[in-house]
Amino acid sequence: MDSKEKKSKFITKDIFKSSIIQAFKKLNPKYMMKNPVMFVVEIGFVISVLLTAFPNLFGDSGNNLRLYNGIVSVILLITVLFANFAESVAEGRGKAQAQALKKTRKDTTAKLLDNKGTVKVISACDLKKGDIVLVENGDIIPSDGEIIKGVASVDESAITGESAPVIKESGGDFSSVTGGTKVVSDWLKIKITTSSGESFLDKMIALVEGASRQKTPNEIALNTVLVSLTLIFLVVIVTLYPMANYLGVKLPIATLIALTVCLIPTTIGGLLSAIGIAGMDRVTKFNVIAMSGKAVEACGDVDTMILDKTGTITFGNRLAADFIPIEGINRNELIKYAVICSLKDDTPEGKSIVSLGNKLGIKIDENLYKNVQFIEFTAQTRMSGVDLENGITIRKGAFEAIKERVTEFGETVPKEVEHIVNRVAKLGGTPLVVVVDEKIYGVIYLKDTVKPGLVEKFERLREIGIKTVMCTGDNPLTAATIAKEAGIDGFIAECKPEDKINAIKKEQEEGKIVAMTGDGTNDAPALAQADVGLAMNSGTIAAKEAANMVDLDSDPTKILEVVEIGKQLLITRGALTTFSIANDVAKYFAIIPAIFTIAIPKMQILNVMKLSTPNSAILSALIFNAIIIPILIPVAMKGVKYKPMKAEVMLLKNMLIFGLGGIIVPFLGIKIIDLMISPIITILSL
């Protein structure tokens, strides 16, 4: 995961206390029915309690049956409480985060402007969509809105976690503001765009509290599988009773209950909700608001990723990449003059020329050129430069503009210059010709630079089978050059908004899950069409409303990390399900031989763990079944460690680690518990 993901303690003292309280409150049958597997365990607990009070209720008889039933009851109660505790911890982490956000919303006031421009201070909760508010230096922005006037620095750290303020102004991509952020300079007039309770802050609070979290399709499918397995084992246990009677083995009802609880998938049943909530929590900690759990889960199934070029794959500013001298000109001379005429050029292009010159060993002392006359670039001249004190003039600019300037001096332009210019243009770059007085020295090659680290990120996605497609308005040659440099799988050149939608639809028609990033109004239709639409918080309201996820950091490349979070969620769920089912297989072979050994001595050969007695075998398995849930809570909360790889390799790895581990761990755990409790059971039975 990226270093931006905020680190926090797994569980605080307050969360621990509240989770214990919630674990008991969740024992309410109305709540437990939402988790059928654990509801079966709770029913078993109730029956065991009745059997403890009335040992002969169902015709059972025998020495110390009341004590045995009581021990089973206690273990079953602990099992349910551990499962509830796991879910409560996950919810508690989210609620702790929500409290800080609620405080921000509760304490915020707004300076409402009426038609006459008069300021009236009201609570932020009383704002309505369409209201105009004034926010000044030090004020908290009361709700989401669009800037209609003013320019100011806004500290978004309360929402995004980033400390550097962002410049916000009316018009353009940075006119959108989020409630809960703080103005740290100047002032803004903002038009409120959301009603009370519908802002991103409200959505974030609802998200982290889990109030709006609905079960996702995969989670519903897994729940169905778990319920089916539970029903199958219930049928098995019911038929086991008459079979045991036929063999002359008397099975107490408490034993059948214990056997049921051990064999049904209680481990994953107890952790399933915690895994889902924790997955949403990880996305939120990554400063992404997901409008639904389905959006997070869809990230884990993404097959194709559509990305804008400008601002996502490239910086968006054309920066110096090379200096190409014409024949007869020393390259260092070209670099020197290019740097001199860019010393006072504050554009990204000018700064990049100076930076590249320094990297190539040409360092110019700016103090020597304090008094030169800098000529700024204009649309009319299409060039910029300096007039030195010794009368030398240096210019850099478009080929046609420089050609016209040289012609005015009565000189001709070498044919080589035009060849260099055309070569740079075909590569998708921007050629700037450098001329000193009337003599052309060469060409500065500017290009839209690919962001560092993207090649590695795209390679990670390729390893897990995700295809990347770049959308750009550039010509096919330029698009191909950028795509090759960035390591993109494919590209759509000269792309219009409708082309993005068609590309997404084409992939979806082939049964693929598509993700896309965007920030402009023209991206809104494509964001709405994509299965995962990640909009930038700095973008337009239309883009944010169309998407199902919003990145509060406005980092377009974050979709790469969000996909990995979705993958981790699915992998964690799959890994713990594998472990749970493997657990059940191990417990089956641990308990059944021990139960029937008395009636069928030959079954002793299957009692590979050499468990002491049938009762110790059952209680050992039941105790292990309970304690494995809290042991796995950190795995459920933090997620299984994720590394990019192909799906079949990942499946094989998880089957090996969690499947094999799920079989071995119970054998070891049950045997150790059996050795510990056997002496106690022997003493109690005397």
- The reply to whether 507 and 637 lie within a common domain is no
Flag whether pLDDT at 7 surpasses 90: no
CA distance 349 to 346: 8
Starting at the earlier edge strand, list the strands of the sheet with 132-136: 119-123, 109-113, 132-136, 187-192, 145-149, 176-177
- Residue-wise pLDDT for 263-304, tens only, equals 888 888 888 777 776 766 677 667 777 766 677 777 878 889
Please give the helix or strand (H or E) that residue 396 lies within, else none.
strand 393-397
Domain ranges, residue 542: 288-308+453-478+486-552
CA distance 218 to 602: 44
Q: What is the pLDDT of residue 326?
A: 92
Who's near 596: CB < 8 A, 6+ residues apart? Answer: 244, 247, 249, 603
- The reply to whether 440 and 471 lie within a common domain is no
- Residue-wise pLDDT for 562-614, tens only, equals 887 888 888 888 888 888 888 887 787 777 776 676 667 676 777 677 777 77
| Number of compact structural domains in the chain | 4
Mean pLDDT of 329-333: 92
Among 513, 528, 552, identify where a domain stops: 552
Flag whether pLDDT at 233 surpasses 70: yes
Which residue type occupies 386?
A: V
Give the three-state DSSP class for 36. helix
Strands 490-492 and 467-471 come out as parallel
Higher pLDDT, 366 or 200: 366
Placement of tokens 């069409």 in the chain: 529
Q: Is residue 635 part of a domain?
A: yes
Flag whether pLDDT at 8 surpasses 60: no
Residues annotated as catalytic (active site), given as ranges: 308
- Please give the span between the terminal C-alpha atoms of the chain, in angstroms, as a whole number: 57
Q: What is the pLDDT of residue 5?
A: 40
Mean pLDDT of 65-94: 83
Higher pLDDT, 6 or 247: 247
Least confident of 69-78, 80-89, 157-166: 157-166
Starting at the earlier edge strand, list the strands of the sheet with 393-397: 314-325, 439-450, 430-436, 393-397, 383-387, 373-375
Q: Give the number of C-alpha atoms closer than 13 A to the C-alpha of residue 510, restricted to the C-beta side.
A: 10
Average pLDDT, the chain: 80
Among 142, 162, 195, identify where a domain stops: 195
Least confident of 147-156, 194-203, 434-443: 194-203
Query: The whole model's pTM is what?
Result: 0.61
b or e along 554-575 (b: 16 or more beta carbons within 10 Å of the residue's beta carbon)? bbbbbbbbbbbbbbbbbbbbbb
- The reply to whether 172 and 319 lie within a common domain is no
Measured over the CA atoms of residue 511, residue 514, residue 520 and residue 521, the dihedral's sign is positive
- The reply to whether 187 and 216 lie within a common domain is no
Q: Could you tell me which residues are annotated as the binding site?
A: 345, 349, 377-384, 396, 519, 523
Q: What is the pLDDT of residue 58?
A: 62
- The reply to whether 573 and 432 lie within a common domain is no
Task: Compute CA distances 2 → 130, 284, 287, 372, 488, whole Å.
Answer: 38, 14, 12, 46, 20
b or e along 606-617 (b: 16 or more beta carbons within 10 Å of the residue's beta carbon)? ebebebbbbbbb
Q: What is the CATH number of the domain that holds 538?
A: 3.40.50.1000
- Residue-wise pLDDT for 48-79, tens only, equals 898 888 877 665 555 467 788 888 899 999 99
- The reply to whether 213 and 337 lie within a common domain is no
The answer to whether 217 and 225 have CB atoms below 8 angstroms apart is no
Q: Is residue 443 part of a domain?
A: yes
Mean pLDDT of 670-679: 88
Percent of the chain with pLDDT over 90: 10
Among 508, 529, 552, identify where a domain stops: 552
- The reply to whether 433 and 326 lie within a common domain is yes
> Token pair of 554, please?
């406005």
CA distance 530 to 550: 14
Q: What is the pLDDT of residue 540?
A: 67
Q: Could you tell me which residues are annotated as the binding site for Mg(2+)?
A: 519, 523
- Residue-wise pLDDT for 470-521, tens only, equals 888 777 877 888 888 888 898 988 887 788 888 899 988 988 889 888 777 6
Which residue type occupies 117?
A: G
Q: Is residue 122 part of a domain?
A: no
Kindly report the number of other CB atoms within 10 A of residue 248's CB atom. Answer: 9
